[in-house]
Amino acid sequence: MIVIVDYGMGNLKSVENACCLLGQKVKITDNRKVIASASAIIFPGVGHFAKAVKELQNRQIFKTLKEKIKTGVPFLGICLGMQILFEESEEASGIKGLGIIKGKVKKFKLKNLCVPHMGWNQVKIKNQKLKIKNKGILKDIRDGSYFYFVHSYYCAPENKNVILATTNYGVEFVSVLHKDNIWAVQFHAEKSQKVGLKLLYNFFKLC
C-alpha cells in the first residue's frame, strides 16, 4: 500500500487526487501500523518545519517514519516533505528534523526578489550519471522543464552527490535529490500539471 503521511497540514487531498489520476491506490493516514506496513511513502508539504515535527511527534509517527525510511521503502518528499528529511532548519532553531539527509534548511536572503519563491521555475539536471543510474524520477522529463514552487526555505545537503537537479532563484538551490530509496523535490509535483504527473508516475514505477 502506498501511504500519504497525514501530519495535519500539507496538500494531502491534492496529492491524493494526482495519484488517483495515475490509477494509483493510496491511503492518507497517521496510523503508525499502517505507515509501518507501507510499500511506499509520500510526504507532501506545506507548513512550518517546527509544527510539522511537533505533529509527527504528537501523532507518535516521527520515529516510525524515520525507521521505515531506513528499511529501504521507496520515499518521496514534496516541498516541506523534502526539508523534514534534513537535520535542522533556519525556520525553527533547535528543532531536529528526521536527520536522514545530512545538512540544513536555509532561508532565502534575497535583496531583489520576493520571498516566498512562488510560481513556475526551471529545474536543471545537474547529475546525469545519477539520473541514468537509477533511471530516475526525472526519466523522460526534459532538462529545464518548469515546475511549480511555493517556499521560503531551501535545502543545503552536505553531500553534493545527492543533488539530482537544481533551480535558480537568486541562488542556486537543490530542487531534486536522490539517496538510495529516497527521492525528494522542493516544488509541488501535484500542482505542476503534466510534467508533475510524469514525475509522480516515475516514482510509482520506481516502487
Identity (one letter) of the amino acid at 119?
Answer: G
E strand or H helix at 193:
helix 193-206
| CB-based contact 59:22 (threshold 8 Å) | no
| CB-based contact 112:79 (threshold 8 Å) | no
* The three grid cell numbers given for residue 175, joined into one nine-digit string: 530542487
Instruction: Pick the catalytic residue from 19, 55, 79, 117.
Output: 79
Phi first, then psi: give them for residue 140, nearest 5 degrees.
65, 15
Identity (one letter) of the amino acid at 2?
Answer: I
Catalytic status, residue 87: no
Coil, strand or helix: which one is 130?
helix
86, with CB counted inside 10 A (0-12, 13-18, 19+), is buried
Instruction: Pick the catalytic residue from 117, 151, 178, 188.
Output: 188
Catalytic status, residue 188: yes
Rg (CA), the chain: 16
Coil, strand or helix: which one is 79?
coil
Taking the C-alpha atoms of residue 13 and residue 146, their distance in angstroms, rounded to an integer, is 23
Phi first, then psi: give them for residue 8, nearest 5 degrees.
85, 5
Active-site annotation, residues? 79, 188, 190
